[in-house]
Structure 1
């Protein structure tokens, strides 16, 4: 059976009839605070007297003392109470006590709620506050800030320790940087070779102090020796032993020993008294992971700087010893012969170069004095090493052979054999050598031999300049090299000048100094003592250079003294 169109069946609800004269009915809304129960942000509605008219669950959780119908509890949230009562700023941030711990709370003023219908019904002067827990944000911000501060400290430490290259200054900086960032007091102990260096700094203690401990001192402090060896670094009496040995004030707080990770160069240990947290507050609590990382990173940087400084000092000492062995020697005092010399290396800071000279007095009263002046290829320390090899070979070979020409032949063979043995590229030298013997009448007899070197010049007492007619091949070039010999007699007041090519090849304003200019300058020095002659020539060459780069310069003057000259 069909039912009529639009007629409800059994069980169906009959819809209300709507006529043009009937208004639609809207279901009543949920009460105002009920709309906000699902929000994570707390919402509080207060009247102008500070009475809480409404608060959602999130707000009551943030402020457990909040009560609807009561005035905002000043003890629970003073900032909110003052803002409600006094109409303060539209936003605030504060710290409130919470059963779960201290919480950071941020609030902002919002528009007045207008729930319809009541309750509650806002009145004139009601305000709405939105509250948010920002404890996590603060924690993340604090963590980031602390990480940035640690990174800035390590960067500053890296810059301060970089390139110091002096063990004492590096030790001072290590302890100075550690106070107060890492501890109230820092002590560093470094063992390098047989010497133990200590440095200490403390708050208000002024400039860091540095001292030394010998091997015998270290033997009296077994805990310190063991700690430097990487054992029992946490020994409780370690700081006391060190204080008694160095005269430092005994530690009054907890001491943390931090071995420095260095291998092969130095052993080092950092002692931190009253280790401090990242905010600079002394605490007996164990260091956090971040603080442990900061400490280990700093100690690693300190170790790198200490190792570099120790290694540099070793190399500097080695260089100084090498320079001293290769430096120009003192001239001997030889009866009847006056000596003068001048030496200026191309790299003046090194004090040595490829030019060299050597003078040895006679082994007996009647034996002649031997001399040598030369120039090896190259510059700097490599050339200095080769020149040292030539000089040592000359010292040994002259004990076997006194003829200058034959001695040059032996030196030539020795250089070639050394190159072959060491698998080096060919290294050659130019030189002039010989001996000088007083004749008894005030004259000096010279025997000379040269190999690839500028010929010596004779300056007579009357100012006349004569080159010595002698020449030869490079020393160390080929085994069949030939070398020339000559004999010269110096009358009283005469001088024989040996010089390296750095003199004549000194390049001044657009030109070389040259042999002609040297020969023209020499007569001005006639009658001058040998040392004065060399000094005047050196000053002339330096003035000609006018600050330009130059090769090594070496001069050796052999003079038969006259009554006017000073031996």
Structure 2
């Protein structure tokens, strides 16, 4: 048979039941599980009844108790079950039990944050949850926060301990800062200059306590003595010994002895009761090591400062202006103000040795070049030489050349640069009729001023060369008689060279002030003159200022 166009045709016979039949198929899942397989986030789809309709492998790994086709089980997936039941729109974050250990789980409802393509929309009424394991993020955050906390603690400790420069206060701060960050209580034991000091603080204990024990008492606490010397691990008797020594009630648990590195300046140990445990990375151990290192630096600085302060105090005491004697027939007055207010000594100096009926009173006022402790040391050398040479020669005119030679020899012996001085020295002898005879000698110093009881002021006509300059130096001499109420004033150039508002105080102002002090006791005259000079300075820097007044007492009426 041929078709319309001549092409052959094929006869097809169909069986009566040969009509096409539909094949049975499983309904495809609503959310396309093939797309969810590549999600790094866990994806769980639940219907309105809480039945899990789909869950990708990431979700099943995070929640091993999850079962597709079953209601979310509270016993196996408590955190997700509560979220589904309560319908929290903002999501959740919780710690869940996992075969690998506790995990931090974060869940979000709605469109996810996955790295792959978004899943198809769920069916109406279904809820999609996106789960992420944030355990690593929490660990990194906790590590960062712990590091920041440690850094903040060490920074605070550094600020609190910096610049204290007092051993007792430093010890108190060391233990106060250690509680409660490092332990329930802290005890610091310090051995310095054959003295043992302990400071202790405990939780709720108020202000840290501080006390001292004799060095010999350490023999009765061998565990503490061993810890102080840094000898091995802490003895089991250390807590009991410290509790007996300090009376701390918290020294009943474990204790940790931490020797303080102080580079030989002092010996110290910090003992912590119930110390903070050390984690796997040794973080608390690093913190403790860093803290005691800072404590050691502060203790060493405080100990060195106290040693230097003590040395300076002893030195200043030996160089400070002496007390004025009480001499029958002669009244003394003095005033002294160093250029550096923080020091008691400077380059100006005076000295008075009271006499007797048979022996004259000797006095000296001078000024060495320079300021501060160096000038004070040189002034002390001058005073000591003067005391020694007075035993050989008591006449001022002959004593001053001997002093000049002594200073030159001292400079040559010590290979020092020349250090000059100016001075007035002399002696005083009451005559018996109320007058006082003065013998004076001067080298390079402003001439003394005589303030008569009547108010007249006159300068003693004498001059001389610098002391300690050359061996052939020439010096001036004079004799003065003070009547009752008359005063001889010796002063350093710091008085007339005091610079006030644009000008020096000067000799003219000095001569104008003194008549108002006529007849006043010698001490009052010096005090009033010092106040006048200080007022003129008006807070400006100044040189050392020294004054010495020798007075014949007024006749009592």
Tell whether the structures are fold-level matches, with TM greater than 0.5.
yes
| Equivalent residue, structure 1, for 2:115 | none
Change (3 A) 1:143 1:121: closer
CA contact (8 A) 2:240 2:252 kept: no
1:541 matched to 2:546? The reply is: no
Q: Distance in 2 between matches of 1:168 and 1:453?
A: 47
Task: Summarize the alignment of residues 43-192 of structure 1 with structure 2, pairs less than 5 Å apart.
Answer: 43-110=43-110, 123-192=123-192
1:9 maps to what in 2?
Answer: none
Matched, 1:311 2:304: yes
- The counterpart of 2:444, out of the listed 438, 452, 456, is 452
Alpha-carbon distance in 1 for matches of 2:162, 2:28? 70
Q: How does 1:515-530 map to 2 (within 5 A)?
A: 515-530=507-522
Partner SS for 1:275: coil
Separation of aligned partners in 1, 2:279 and 2:241: 24
Residue pair 2:79, 2:96 contacting (<8 A) in 1 also: no
1:239 and 1:250 in contact (8 A); partners too: no
Question: What's the counterpart of residue 285 of structure 2?
Answer: 292
CA contact (8 A) 1:527 1:564 kept: no
Note if 1:438 corresponds to 2:430: yes
Distance 1:78 1:286, change over 3 A: closer
How many Å separate the matches in 1 of 2:111 and 2:340?
81
The structural deviation recorded for 1:247 is: 3.2
Aligned residue in 2 for 1:387:
379
Q: For the aligned residues, what is the CA RMSD?
A: 2.2
1:243 deviates by: 2.2
1:419 matches 2:411 = yes
Which stretch shifts more, 541-550 or 336-345?
541-550
- Partner Cα distance (1:287, 1:426) in 2: 67
Please, which runs of 5 or more residues in structure 1 have no aligned partner? 1-27, 113-119, 278-284
Query: How big is the shift at 1:233?
Result: 4.5
1:516 CA drift (Å): 2.0
Q: Confirm whether residue 474 of structure 1 aligns to residue 466 of structure 2.
A: yes
1:326 aligned residue (319, 322, 326): 319
Secondary structure in 2 matching 1:205? coil
Deviations 1:157-204 (A, max 9, x none): 111111111111111111111111111111111111111111111111
Matches of 2:48 and 2:250 in 1, distance apart? 63
CA distance in 2, matches of 1:241, 1:41: 59
2:331 aligned to which of 334, 338, 359? 338
| Structure 2 partner of 1:21 | none
Deviation at 1:508, TM superposition (A): 2.2
Determine if contact 1:265/1:310 at 8 Å carries over to the other structure: yes
Superposition pairs for residues 235-384 of structure 1, below 5 Å?
Answer: 235-249=235-249, 251-277=251-277, 288-362=281-355, 365-384=357-376
Larger mean CA deviation between 523-532 and 285-294 belongs to 285-294
* TM-score, structure 1 as length reference: 0.88
In the alignment, the residues of structure 1 paired with residue 528 and residue 78 of structure 2 have an alpha-carbon distance, to the nearest angstrom, of 91
8 Å CA contact 1:472–1:483 kept in 2: the answer is yes
Q: Is 1:36 aligned to 2:13, yes or no?
A: no
**CA shift digits 1:512-546 (9 cap, x unpaired):** 22212222222222222211221222222222222
Partner of 1:12: none
User: What is the distance in 2 between the residues matched to 1:452 and 1:378?
Assistant: 15
SS of alignment partner, residue 533 of structure 2:
helix
After superposition, the Cα gap between the structure-2 partners of 1:233 and 1:352, relative to the gap in structure 1 and judged at 3 Å, is farther
1:70-93 deviations in whole A, cap 9, x for unaligned? 111223333322332343224322
1:233–1:457 Cα change, 3 Å: farther
Equivalent-residue separation in structure 2 for 1:202 and 1:273 (angstroms): 9
Q: What is the DSSP-based 3-state SS (H/G/I as helix, E as strand, rest coil) of the residue aligned with 2:184?
A: strand
Instruction: Provide the rounded CA distance (Å) in 2 between the counterparts of 1:481 and 1:264.
Output: 51
Deviation at 1:242, TM superposition (A): 2.3
Taking the aligned partners of 2:502 and 2:185, their CA distance within structure 1 comes to 63
Q: What CA deviation, in whole Å up to 9, does each residue of 1:411-463 have, x standing for no partner?
A: 22222222222232221110000111122332221111101000011122222
Paired residue secondary structure (1:383) = helix
CA distance in 2, matches of 1:262, 1:30: 77
Q: Which moved more, 1:471-480 or 1:83-92?
A: 83-92
Query: What is residue 400 of structure 1 aligned with on the other side?
Result: 392
1:16 aligns with none
Shift of 1:263: 1.4
Cα distance in 1 for residues equivalent to 2:73 and 2:315: 83
The aligned residue for residue 495 of structure 1 is: 487
Q: Which residue of 1 aligns with 2:9?
A: none
**What's the CA shift string for 1:74-117, capped at 9, x where partnerless?**
233333223323432243222111111111112223459xxxxx
Aligned to 2:475, which of 472, 483, 487?
483
